[in-house]
Amino acid sequence: DQQVKQNSPSLSVQEGRISILNCDYTNSMFDYFLWYKKYPAEGPTFLISISSIKDKNEDGRFTVFLNKSAKHLSLHIVPSQPGDSAVYFCAATDTGTASKLTFGTGTRLQVTL
């Protein structure tokens, strides 16, 4: 049972445009959500997070939006840069328990010139 879903395996965006990566979850106990970026041959790198008490969190070019009623979150990158090309994983956790992360399957973002 896939509790965190990223339905787009890949996304291609032109440099300077907005990248929007989507994530859906099914477990209503999840209350903290994170986005990680992963380059080949490296471990995931933390990007940005959001608590369920918020609906938006912004950090520079990265903004995460959370829609609790729809159990949906999205990561916006604007403007997109070639160095943003990587695999992006959405992750969720129930901080009342162990804080183990449940990951989606990832979206490969390609930012073209």
Partner 1 sequence: DTGVSQDPRHKITKRGQNVTFRCDPISEHNRLYWYRQTLGQGPEFLTYFQNEAQLEKSRLLSDRFSAERPKGSFSTLEIQRTEQGDSAMYLCASSYTGTGLRDEQFFGPGTRLTVL
DSSP calls for 65-100: EEETTTTEEEEEESS--GGG-EEEEEEEE-TTTT--
Chosen residue from 45, 67, 81, 112 binding partner 1 by CB under 8 A: 45
Q: Is 8 in the site for partner 1 (CB under 8 A)?
A: no
Among positions 17-36, residues that touch partner 1 (CB under 8 A) are: 32, 34, 36
Measure the N-to-C terminal CA separation of the chain; round to a whole number of Å: 38
Q: How far is CA 110 from CA 21, 57, 76, 80, in A?
A: 12, 23, 14, 10
Stretch that binds partner 1, among 14-22, 64-72, 73-81, 95-103 (CB under 8 A): 95-103
**Beta carbon of residue 78, minimum distance to partner 1 (angstroms, whole number):** 23
**Beta carbon of residue 17, minimum distance to partner 1 (angstroms, whole number):** 26
The C-alpha atoms of residue 24 and residue 103 are separated, in whole angstroms, by 11
Q: Which residues bind partner 1 (CB under 8 A)?
A: 4, 32, 34, 36, 41-46, 49, 51, 89, 91, 93, 95, 98-106
